[in-house]
Structure 1
Amino acid sequence: MNVELKNLQKIVQWHGTHVAGIIARNRKQFLRYRRNWWLTSILPVRVLGKCGGNRSDIIDGMLWAAGIAVPGVPTNPHPAQIINMSLGGKSPGGCSGTVYPEAINQIKAKGALIIVAAGNSNNEAANYVPASCDGVMTVGAVGPYGYRASYSNYSDKYKVDISAPGGDMQLGDWAGIYSTVNSGKTVPEFSTYKYLQGTSMAAPHVSGVASLALALDPQIAPELLAYSLIYGSRAFPSDSQCTLNWPLCGAGVVDAHNTLLAVNALKPFSLVYEYYNVDLNPLFLIPDQGLNHSQCCQVEQGWLARYQGYFLQHGDRLLKVRCQYAGFMEHRERGRTHIFIPQTQASAARYRMIPAGHMRELRFTSNCQSIIPAR
């Protein structure tokens, strides 16, 4: 749905049907696509009408979808593992002070991944909710050639995590996203198809890939699922605004094949939750497992600061660090092998290599010259 709740009455009906069709990929109409998500069960939850609605209804719908009790209705017997939110509203103060954070934390505790549309106002996503909330995966839109769609919200504050096809119909209807709708204006009539555009169309592309990843590894943790989507994303065109002003549009464009490769490679790995909180230092070290050298990196805030529990990859080895207030820095050359987790209020962390079980404590130093292994 369009990000401005006051404008929802202008939106064509069957928006949710269009979104569901993108996830489901009707085989007969989309012969050029593999039916990747055909076995995915879609749980439709209506929280807004054509004239808008209340955030309280959105929150209730989110909680109910995740299997969390909502007063007055039976608990959902089939909790969703992925919650697609192709909706939102403007909030100049961002997510802070809204009703979203508490609901998001409850849903994360249930093990579900929340995927959110960035918004369609060609504006900073930090000013929209739930797109700006921590703990969600926010999706911007690209057109048919991989460039940021003209309407898509963006962020230089790391509030857009990834992009996906959302259409850009200023090029023509053909450049939109073709999916399921209904011909009826006020009541259902005939099932049909239509081109639409929006980050509402981009988010379900990511949700569809996420559901495919779940089919490959049903036990995958939501943090690792989000990491796999980001890690598997493909680069934007080299001359695009998204590349030249990285990370305006997130890590890259969602890529189903690469995401599955990442999920498959990470199957032997599991999450690590140990952490220490000590004084903050702006520089820190990650040594390689052969102890041949160390790499020094500056701390920057980033996408994965919005999740709790991250993976580090150094060389061909994947490490995991859990920090209570985590930030994240990725090398700008997007080599996809250097993901480092600083700590907003920490300069030491315990990490474990899985499955080898190697564990040691790193004490990060401000001069970036020393490291003290755990005793």
Structure 2
Amino acid sequence: MSFSSKARWWPRLGAALLLAAAPLVQAADGTYGRVIVKLKPDASVLRSSVVQVQSAGGSTQTHLMQRLGQRRGLVVQDGREVGPRVHVAMAQGLSSEALAAVLAKDGDVMYAVPDRLRRLHSVYPDDPLFSNVSNPNVAAGQWFLRTPDVDAPHAAINAQAAWVRTVPVRGSGITVAEIDTGVRTDHPDLVDKLHPGANMISYASVAGVPKPGGRSTDPSDLGDWVDQNGINEINSELKTTVDCQVLDTSTWHGTKVAGIIGAKADNGIGGASVAPEAMILPVRALGKCGGWDSDIMAGMRWAAGLPVDGVSTPPVANARVINMSLGGSDTCSLAYKEVIAELTALNVVIVASAGNDNGLAVSTPANCPGVIAVAGVRHVGAKVRYSSLGPEVSLSAPAGNCENATGDCLYTMLTTTNSGDKDPVSNANGGSIYTDQMSRWANGTSFAAPQVSGAAALLLQARSSLTPAAVSSLLRRHARAFPTSGDPLASGRCVAPSAAEQFECYCTTQTCGAGMLDVDAAVQAALTDPVAVITVKPSTQATPQPNQPVYLNAAQSMVSPVGGSMSSYAWQVLDDGGIVNASGWSRNSVETQLTPTAPGAFKVQLQVTDDSGRSATIDQWVYVPASVPVTNTSTSSGGGGGSVDGAALIGLALFTLMASVSYQRRSRVRAVASTRRTRRP
């Protein structure tokens, strides 16, 4: 070989050897940063010679992040690919925030945000548990599915009426993806309702499987219990100290959520569900101690039919609805915003639980634009003690409660579960049970969100052309008004979230969304009416600002099923909040504008009428914050369960008050009784 030919290949070989062999430098405090990086389309690193290596998740990838880190003077490992040009980068000796700040400075990088750990938030059918139960502490079987009347609590969601229409609406033909802990696939109320799913958990110790683990086509819930040895194993595999606590029993959270979305009805066993003819696509992204944002986002993309690293098999049927009963305390990152926008453009409806943070702010991803965020109410309609709240909430639904003056745990959410304390028990050995049995309660906003996801499936069966914005509008417009009295535990009106907790309180449309879910009213409107949709578009900012015009657009509104075109628009200001003046604005055009003079909120109404003469309205609050958060690709408050200054674990916000801890003491359950394993999200 000539010297000239050596000169051509030797630098590339040298770089390859350096990347393959570079040792990790362990910092004294053991920090190990994790970051989600998106590269620009013309990134030079994409054109460079790369080395094929084994990633942390076990698949062979190009070593783009190591090369990127080397350019910034860092030793960086490649994690999973999340999507096109979106990768996970990891480095020891740096916090996630610090690693993001360094990588964001590279000219090839579009954004770099911390990868956080998220936690769980948790005709009458002939199914015997729908109308009655054996456990005297559960007041009325599946009370939450019924039509509110003298025999059903005020907060019941009226799903039952949709099932018995002249043309029943039960979710037929619609697939709902459930991003969660997986599902017990042999449960008789679910066994015929599941499409083949996937496991997105990148780490064997988190998934509870033998090494090397990695993504697969098995969505089975293997249990999320964890002892100290298990935590130590996770720490070792993740090269950090995980913010995680011992959990003595498994939650079977995904199985519970699946049962509320789409458990089979009229099969003579168990209970019913909101959408008993919808199919469920189980996606396991949460395991022991939680689940990473990057794995959750990968699960979202795969469920929508987009290619994902490590799972070559596409879903049998792409999801029209995605349910995420999980989250963590955080602002919505650019990575989440991008995935949500990508899926919304594909007409995928995304629903997430608001969180169980005792009246503090809404969690991520529920606080992301384009997500239908669901808060929790008690059976009488007041905010349940543990539910988070805030202006991001779209509407509320029953979240179960053990908050009663008698001390009894009443009106919990009856659904499917497993009898195993730690590891699953097969159906053949009696493992398939329901949450009224063995004191396995199901309470939390985790179980409010799947009611809304099931309702979205019914709307999409009723009218398949509905967009995510139209589904949200229908659910909000036809929600029932919150009560203002009648709850002996409520202590006045709910107020905007702050650093102070607030427990039972009377919801307002600025704290708990538009109202309480009414499934049949929304289905009826979908079958017959136009849909009014308001899009808020600040001129140049991502968020409305004082003294800057706010554009209100009705172009995404939809005509009725018998309409051909929209004939008129009518706007009005219902509450000026003391910050807008409506004089002189355009009241009858597809787009109008108002200019707020100060921070605060104002409420507008849009009425649309199509050429069939049918009309629809929608009310919407527009919020003008005191200060607009700076969008910076180098930082993110991240999400979830732990302070990821040192650990960066996604706080899989265990947004449930699960049976194992929720009512062992026969006393009023406080939100602190959640099974979440780290600090509250």
- Deviation, structure 1 residue 298: 5.8
The CA distance in 2 between the partners of 1:324 and 1:79, in whole Å, is 38
Normalised by the length of structure 2, the TM-score is 0.40
The CA distance in 2 between the partners of 1:54 and 1:215, in whole Å, is 32
The corresponding residue for 2:322 is 83
- Deviation, structure 1 residue 123: 3.5
Aligned residues: 309
- Deviation, structure 1 residue 353: 5.1
Amino acid at match of 1:112: V
The corresponding residue for 2:302 is 64
The corresponding residue for 1:230 is 476
Whether the aligned pair in 1 keeps the contact of 2:397 and 2:516 (CA below 8 Å) is yes
Q: Does 1:188 align with 2:425?
A: yes
Of 497, 510, 513, the match for 1:250: 513
- Deviation, structure 1 residue 204: 0.4
The CA distance in 1 between the partners of 2:246 and 2:318, in whole Å, is 30
| Structure with more relative contact order (C-alpha pairs < 8 Å, separation 6 or more) | 2
Of 361, 372, 378, the match for 1:137: 372
- Deviation, structure 1 residue 257: 1.5
**Residue aligned with 2:281, SS:** coil
Whether the aligned pair in 2 keeps the contact of 1:228 and 1:259 (CA below 8 Å) is yes
- Deviation, structure 1 residue 13: 2.3
The CA distance in 1 between the partners of 2:589 and 2:310, in whole Å, is 41
The corresponding residue for 2:358 is 122
**Residue aligned with 2:306, SS:** coil
- Deviation, structure 1 residue 19: 0.3
The corresponding residue for 2:527 is 264
- Deviation, structure 1 residue 7: 5.8
1:101-120: per-residue Cα shift (whole Å, max 9, x none)? Answer: 11111111111010000001
Normalised by the length of structure 1, the TM-score is 0.70
Q: Check 1:80–1:321 CA distance in 2 against 1; reply closer, same or farther (3 A cut).
A: farther
**Residue aligned with 2:527, SS:** helix
Amino acid at match of 1:187: P
The corresponding residue for 2:381 is 146
Q: Check 1:60–1:295 CA distance in 2 against 1; reply closer, same or farther (3 A cut).
A: closer
- Deviation, structure 1 residue 70: 1.1
The corresponding residue for 1:2 is 120
The CA distance in 2 between the partners of 1:237 and 1:130, in whole Å, is 28
**Residue aligned with 1:115, SS:** strand
**Residues 18-167 of structure 1 mapped to structure 2, 5 A cutoff:** 18-27=256-265, 28=268, 37-74=275-312, 75-91=314-330, 94-95=331-332, 97-126=333-362, 128-155=363-390, 158-167=391-400
Of 325, 336, 354, the match for 2:610: 354
Amino acid at match of 1:146: G
The corresponding residue for 2:449 is 203
The corresponding residue for 1:170 is 403
The corresponding residue for 2:143 is none
The CA distance in 2 between the partners of 1:173 and 1:201, in whole Å, is 16
Q: Check 1:59–1:321 CA distance in 2 against 1; reply closer, same or farther (3 A cut).
A: farther
Whether the aligned pair in 1 keeps the contact of 2:539 and 2:549 (CA below 8 Å) is no
The CA distance in 1 between the partners of 2:603 and 2:364, in whole Å, is 25
The CA distance in 2 between the partners of 1:251 and 1:216, in whole Å, is 22
Q: Check 1:67–1:121 CA distance in 2 against 1; reply closer, same or farther (3 A cut).
A: same
Q: Check 1:65–1:297 CA distance in 2 against 1; reply closer, same or farther (3 A cut).
A: same
Q: Check 1:276–1:204 CA distance in 2 against 1; reply closer, same or farther (3 A cut).
A: closer
Whether the aligned pair in 1 keeps the contact of 2:400 and 2:413 (CA below 8 Å) is yes
Whether the aligned pair in 2 keeps the contact of 1:166 and 1:200 (CA below 8 Å) is yes
Q: Tell which deviates more after alignment, 22-31 or 105-114.
A: 22-31
**Residue aligned with 1:170, SS:** coil
Q: Which stretches in structure 2 are left out of the alignment for 5+ residues?
A: 1-118, 123-241, 436-440, 495-505, 541-546, 555-566, 578-586, 614-681
- Deviation, structure 1 residue 277: 6.4
The CA distance in 1 between the partners of 2:451 and 2:281, in whole Å, is 16
Whether the aligned pair in 1 keeps the contact of 2:549 and 2:595 (CA below 8 Å) is no
**Residue aligned with 1:43, SS:** strand
**Residues 209-358 of structure 1 mapped to structure 2, 5 A cutoff:** 209-239=455-485, 241=493, 243=506, 245-266=508-529, 281=549, 295=572, 321=590, 330=603, 338-339=605-606, 354-355=610-611
Q: Check 1:238–1:109 CA distance in 2 against 1; reply closer, same or farther (3 A cut).
A: same
Q: Which stretches in structure 1 are left out of the alignment for 5+ residues?
A: 301-313, 332-337, 341-351, 358-375
- Deviation, structure 1 residue 248: 1.0
1:121-155: per-residue Cα shift (whole Å, max 9, x none)? Answer: 114334x2101111101000111111111000011
Provide the identity percentage: 33
Q: Check 1:353–1:137 CA distance in 2 against 1; reply closer, same or farther (3 A cut).
A: same
Q: Which has the larger radius of gyration?
A: 2
- Deviation, structure 1 residue 38: 1.8
The CA distance in 2 between the partners of 1:270 and 1:154, in whole Å, is 25
- Deviation, structure 1 residue 295: 4.6
The CA distance in 2 between the partners of 1:188 and 1:353, in whole Å, is 56
1:275-310: per-residue Cα shift (whole Å, max 9, x none)? Answer: 9969955799x9xx899x98556667xxxxxxxxxx
Whether the aligned pair in 2 keeps the contact of 1:6 and 1:52 (CA below 8 Å) is no
1:37-77: per-residue Cα shift (whole Å, max 9, x none)? Answer: 22101000010103212111011001111111112322334
The CA distance in 2 between the partners of 1:106 and 1:321, in whole Å, is 25
1:228-247: per-residue Cα shift (whole Å, max 9, x none)? Answer: 00011011112363556442
